[in-house]
Structure 1
Amino acid sequence: MAAATSVSSPVPLAWYPTLAVATVAVGLMLTASFFIYEATSSKRSRCFAKEVTTAAAASVFLGFGSLFVLLASGVYV
């Protein structure tokens, strides 16, 4: 039987706080961009593809940001 290998993170522990701040900041900027686009454009001039792309990118960055916030604070998920 082969010896068991330990599971380790692909990202060094020291990078967690930096990644948390960076990904949350980018996610919040994309969210703000989405809301500004929705508030300033008329219903006829909106582009559905741009809305979905911006919302999906913001969601991905905020999702990873919340993961790294939890990891940086010691909650291992």
Structure 2
Amino acid sequence: MGSQAAAITSPVPVAWYPTLAILMLAVGLIVTASFFIYEATSSRRNRSLAKELTTGALASFFLGFGTLFLLLASGVYV
């Protein structure tokens, strides 16, 4: 009954938050740009649904975690 609860710590060091935010947002924006370029330059017959879904999911992943680390780096703990 006398045991204390362990403190909750981040699996990622706090000092890495700004670097991870910039890196993941940059990668996410590059993947997003490649998605838009693919959509603008390919014809309707040559488009691949699998490529579109994969690129969209990858961009969403990096932009989502980049936004999370940006919020954490700026002191908004979510």
TM-score interval (norm. to shorter): over 0.9
TM-score normalised to structure 1 length: 0.98
TM-score normalised to structure 2 length: 0.97
Report the identity percentage: 70
Query: Structure 1 stretches of 5 or more lacking a match?
Result: none
State how far apart, in whole Å, the 1-side matches of 2:42 and 2:53 are.
Answer: 15
Q: Deviations over 1:16-75 (max 9, x none)?
A: 000000000000000000000000000000000000000000000000000000000000
Aligned length in residues: 77
Query: Structure 2 stretches of 5 or more lacking a match?
Result: none
Superposed structure 1 runs of 4+ greater than 3 Å apart: none
State how far apart, in whole Å, the 1-side matches of 2:5 and 2:37 are.
Answer: 52
